[in-house]
Chains A and B, each alone.
Chain A
């Protein structure tokens, strides 16, 4: 294994790793400050925040240092490379670069959204000189709220790292952003009438190391130090981007992508980033209801769940139907399927199809909108988070799972006495016409987050949680199982679905997703990879090695 040294500590690395000095320093846990470099973007080495000293070890063991500073981001580390990232010369250069970057910076931290998670604040504190020697007036540049529907630019705060520009050129390929003017008068801008509204646009806000590009959605909503982040997974498509859900006092304020090389990489799409607002809808199902003859007889979980359990247990097994949802977690699907199949192995299990919208949307795109190879980001047509996870559970419990239409056909032809329907898809999962089919079923249970055509018809209405309110596992298009974690509580009387199903099953104690995963792994060979319970920040592959995403039509119940 090649060896190099960083700050006189030896590091070992694989020759294929192609490390730069920033990455090499990370191996000893040392931060080389940087702005313009980003692992997913081309190297421009222009901000000069990452300057280091480097040298080579000659065959006789002597070290020859280069006389000049070099950008760590641009300089490869090879066998025998010597990197000094904390020498007095390096520290002086860091202080000088920061003084330059702050010369024209408005220092309006008190009103800046980025304060608290700002690259300028953090580095100035760690590497800066503490005060500026500029005595002249600072540049003043106009703010630009026309950058995009979701994006505004505080032009004065920009440090010209061009990450945002490179993102739109290299990742989205849409190239809306560019640099205009020259020298200290430079500004980021868009062409008139061509705002940065591509479906990946929100990422430029995350990429911006300072408070220049801001999200209009999040603007002035919260100081970031009040936010707590829960690690989670975006549920809006089967890509399953790793994210954080940032909340304060049970209110979600934003989603941000979380780096996961196994899932999506560094980014997320705007459909996912801004597509969670249903979580805050006024008409969320908020209380459980037990109804008799159209009249609510109970709002109490403690009455409802035992009553429902009893009623289901006294129904003839082959006259019980259940529709699972690709929005359920693996654990929820397991709890429901195992509870019902314990009543009878003849229960009829189906899963609702994952909504397919258009076709996979691949980036970067060329100027005609055609995707270019290699693909760097895909927004998938399959608009559900866990079709594969639920499918794996279902296949274990049902020899031949039904499709949703089969199940509804059986309902309308009077073959069912009880029907348990799980929703969860915020864009709707059942039409009025389909809902009509359940009218012949004496016992209809609906577990969902929002009202639907079928919720008024339910004898039991069980309000569940959104992805932000639950714990469990989603399996993405490629078979990557990732944990979601509860960030906020469900509205009022609603409960996370895992807890509802745990209690309905009459299991003792509390629902604990990680514990339950061990049981699932032991029961279901296809899900054996979940055996550790905790899956780590990046998740685990269900099968060894990355499996290609099977075409969605081959999944149980895929045709609606």
Chain B
């Protein structure tokens, strides 16, 4: 195989990579021009044929989602760009927005043409101040250059892009929480159906897509379906419901590695390759004990599972929730899994929006149990209780409205299944942990 050339990240090392002039010099907005010359349905078909799957966490086929919009709707139809990136360990959207904003804006414009939308909202994670400034400047440049606004590139296509700073909560990234928040309400995820494509923002059909997904759209239109499908993992022939995992992917690697990074690679690289070849290996000469495959809500791979390919299907086969955001967080063998898990639970209970009883109470209960364990007051039976609580919450058992709860349950399930020995020993030998976690707890 030829050496992989980054595409999404091709421009990020360049000087002034944010400016429109440079972007155009590198061939930017040619994809938009091409797309605007095509019928919207043909653009959708192209994206569908590419088998692009959403990069925001759920991996839903992008083109298929676009076809869920009601046919011949009089409009308005909205695009909501999910730039709320809050999954712990995930920072690829941030780089895309800060370093190459026009790549995203071009993807947005192409998507809007395809879904017949004249209004896009970028729901930007509040804490991303630099992204805000860069995107804001880029949007202004586009208006000035006739790439946004009325009659774009003389084709008669109109598009307004609104940049909205989010409400600073993890749950604002859940697509219907995002929509509620964009409407000015508390980001309480909505019950489905109706799905956003039928009734979303302001009760109008709405497509929610992640930043990286839309950046991929730009390149699919520019380079073609064949290019996109030339890399990645084809569908499992034994699973008729597997759409495969094609295209390039931005993998974030953080935690106990020598060189935390975000690297673009073809879908399906293993965790081990990422750590050893791209992140400089585990730090301090230690070994990895556990690896988060795609943001903490996906659970953990054990040291024995590091050869799991990080495509959409891989982590699931190792008992994880899924690929998630492909944000790899490495835990070294000097770190207590009790502490790691406590920290995951603490985050999730802090971020639970609190609507659904099992999530609201379950996340907090699990945190309290782990707090008790880590301060030396645990019992071995607590582990079974944790498993029971984790098993009772989420959209998978059907007890909650959104997937935050599954993401809260999974680290618990994986940690206790895969590291039960360590937990039991911790409890039996009466170990106690003090330290940063408590300080974080008080910071709420």
Contacts and interface: CB of A to CB of B under 8 A. Distances in A.
The 6 closest A-B pairs by CB, nearest first: A68-B398, A69-B398, A100-B361, A184-B364, A183-B352, A136-B368
B169 A183 contact: no
Contacts of A104: 361
B399 A134 contact: no
9 contacts: A68-B398, A69-B399, A93-B397, A104-B361, A136-B368, A160-B360, A182-B351, A184-B360, A184-B364
A183 B351 CA distance: 7
A186 interface: yes
A437 interface: no
B397 A97 contact: no
Given A68-B397, A93-B399, A96-B392, A48 B349 contact: no
B350 A69 contact: no
A215 B404 CA distance: 36
Most buried by A among B191, B357, B360: B357
Interface in A52-81: 66, 68-71, 74
A129 to B, nearest CB: 11
Interface string B386-407: 0000001001111111000000
Nearest to A161: B357
Given A100-B357, A182-B351, A183-B363, A69 B397 contact: yes
A135 interface: yes
A15 interface: no
Interface string B343-375: 000000111111111101111110011011000
Most buried by A among B186, B396, B398: B398
B195 to A, nearest CB: 14
Nearest to A98: B357
Contact of B349 (A69, A179, A184): A184
B10 interface: no
B361 A182 contact: no
B385 interface: yes
A162 B188 CA distance: 12
A438 interface: no
Interface in A91-133: 93, 96-97, 100-101, 103-104, 133
A96 B388 CA distance: 10
Contacts of A74: 191
B215 to A, nearest CB: 31
A197 B355 CA distance: 26
A96 B393 CA distance: 10
A168 to B, nearest CB: 15
Contact of A184 (B169, B352, B372, B396): B352
A288 B399 CA distance: 65
Interface in A381-427: none
A262 to B, nearest CB: 31
A356 interface: no
Given A51-B398, A93-B392, A93-B399, A186 B357 contact: no
B364 A43 contact: no
A44 interface: yes
A185 B441 CA distance: 13
A68 to B, nearest CB: 3
Contact of A133 (B169, B356, B385): B385
Contacts of A100: 357-358, 360-362, 365
Contacts of A184: 349, 352, 354, 360-361, 363-364
Contacts of B395: 68
B350 to A, nearest CB: 7
Contacts of B362: 100
B353 A182 contact: yes
Contacts of B356: 46-48
Contact of A47 (B191, B357, B398): B357
Contacts of B169: 182
B51 to A, nearest CB: 26
Interface in B183-202: 186, 191
Contacts of A44: 191, 355
A136 B398 contact: no
A103 to B, nearest CB: 5
B350 A45 contact: no
B364 A183 contact: yes
Contact of B358 (A97, A134, A162, A179): A97
Contacts of A494: none
Contact of B401 (A46, A93, A134): A46
A540 interface: no
A103 B396 CA distance: 23
Nearest to A73: B191
A136 B371 CA distance: 9
Nearest to B186: A179
A74 B191 CA distance: 8
Given A51-B398, A179-B186, 18 more contacts: A44-B355, A49-B357, A74-B191, A93-B392, A96-B358, A96-B399, A100-B360, A133-B385, A134-B365, A136-B368, A136-B372, A178-B186, A182-B352, A183-B349, A183-B364, A184-B349, A184-B360, A184-B364
